[in-house]
Amino acid sequence: MEAENHTEGLEFLLLGLSEDLEQQPILFGLFLPMYLVTVLGNLLIILTISSDSHLHTPMYFFLSNLSFVDICFEKPILFGLFLPMYLVTVLGNLLIILTISSDSHLHTPMYFFLSNLSFVDICFVSTTIPKMLVNIQTHSRDICYMGCLTQVYFFMIFAGLDNLLLTVMAYDRFVAICHPLHYTVIMNPRLCVLLVLICWLIIFSASLLHILLMRRLTFSTGTEIPHFFCELALILKVAQSDTFINNIVLYVATALLCVFPVTGILYSYSQIVSSLLRMSSTASKYKAFSTCGSHLCVVSLFYGTGLGVYLSSSVTHSSQGRPIASVMYTVVTPMLNPFIYTLRNKDVKGALGRLLSRAVSCP
């Protein structure tokens, strides 16, 4: 194929998870009901066990963990799951935002950052999944040049915001546990808004730089991308022109936007652990650590799945391994975040219960 020196009318081919288009609707129709039955059944078991004190025994504890593992086992490998997963992600995070905004007890820095994280998660998953669902239904794998460029841009923005917001939330927990008497003074509303705006400014600038550098590249018409969405690293690999500067900027930006946030999170939690060890009361330790337990779970899930993507592609050298692994941090992580913060947080569960009660009581 000859290289194009212009981008008008240029299209890429997203190969997705399976290159056999005839199998996609069959798989979708087959696995969708299986997935719904699996998730709802296992969630029902988990909720039943957690809500009934008579079932708080070792046997049912192990059963609830088995049900959770069964749910997680189904998600990354069944192709037909994306539609319900997308809907659950959007509705779950919207419910978190609505719950926080409607309950004055949750108008605190921690829940302000959580509502921002939920908004970013909705945008994050909406950047990739709707286009893939359209391609499935239309039996098309095409995406225009500007569409691909737009997808790359917003994917970098919302993935980066997830990263930085988790760091800000770790700092918030550090101040709350290590400096509780000065928490309201330090984490005042002005600082909270400023921290979120700084996150947006940093990611917006970094993403815009990548897009401007990408605009000078040339591609062949019908270039195939071995993924279900346009990812910058893969786009650079299929470019026809020199990508040396692009790769340097990508490596530097990735290093900076990973090293500094991870360092900030590790420092915050090292100080938190140190503060917990100095507490004499076991009840005080548990109460203090419980406030950051949900955040720690989300951080582990986000960085663990992100690391798994690159390990899977670098170790196996398989073109199919990367897309499947990417499902974990592009879809599964944003979907699980509302459940983690709801099931592990008494304040959110209480506010959610009050919200649902008001909704039911309304004529």
Q: In this structure, which long-range contacts are made by residues 15-20, counting pairs with CB atoms below 8 Å and at least 24 apart in sequence? A: 15/141, 15/224, 15/225, 15/226, 15/227, 15/228, 15/319, 15/323, 16/132, 16/135, 16/136, 16/141, 16/227, 16/228, 16/323, 17/79, 17/228, 17/320, 17/323, 17/324, 18/79
- Condensed to tens digits (0 to 9), the pLDDT of residues 301-325 reads 888 877 776 666 555 555 555 666 6
Q: Residue 362: pLDDT band by 50, 70, 90 thresholds?
A: low
DSSP 69-83: HHHHHHTTT-GGGHH
**pLDDT tens digits, residue range 101-153?**
988 888 999 999 999 999 999 999 999 888 877 776 676 778 888 888 999 99
Rounded to the nearest integer, the mean pLDDT of the chain is 79
Confidence class for position 172, pLDDT limits 50, 70, 90 = very high
**What separation in angstroms does the CA of 121 have from each of 86, 160, 243?**
11, 11, 30
pTM: predicted TM-score of the whole model, two decimal places = 0.76
Q: For residue 85, what pLDDT is reported?
A: 82
Instruction: Work out whether the CA dihedral 328, 334, 337, 342 comes out positive or negative.
Output: negative
- Structure-token pair, residue 118: 């939920």
* Residue 217 · residue 148 · CB < 8 Å: no
Res. 356: pLDDT tops 50: yes
- Is 164 or 82 the better-scoring residue by pLDDT? 164
Domain assignments of the chain as residue spans, ordered by start: 12-354
The mean per-residue pLDDT over the stretch 230-258 comes to: 89
What are the angstrom distances between the C-alpha of 91 and each of 1, 66, 96, 122? 44, 25, 9, 9
pLDDT of residue 199: 96
Distance, CA of 361 to CA of 363 (rounded, Å): 6
**What is 12-354's CATH superfamily?**
Rhodopsin 7-helix transmembrane proteins (1.20.1070.10)
Tokens of 138: 């239309």
pLDDT mean over 209-231: 84
Higher-pLDDT residue of 357, 276:
276
Phi, psi (deg, nearest 5) at residue 139? 55, 35
User: Closest Cα partner for 211 from 148, 126, 124?
Assistant: 148
The 10s digit of each residue's pLDDT in 322-350 is 666 677 778 888 888 888 887 767 777 77
The CB density around residue 31, as the number of other CB atoms within 10 Å, is 17
Strands 223-225 and 142-144: unpaired
pLDDT at 82 over 90: no
The string of pLDDT tens digits covering residues 8-63 is 556 676 665 555 555 555 555 545 555 556 656 656 666 666 666 666 677 766 66
Give 2's pLDDT tier (boundaries 50, 70, 90). very low
45: tokens are: 């078991």
- The residue among 9, 153, 18 whose CA lies nearest residue 78 is 18
Residue 78 banded pLDDT, cuts 50, 70, 90:
very low
Rounded to the nearest angstrom, the gap between the alpha carbon of residue 64 and the centroid of all alpha carbons in its chain is 24
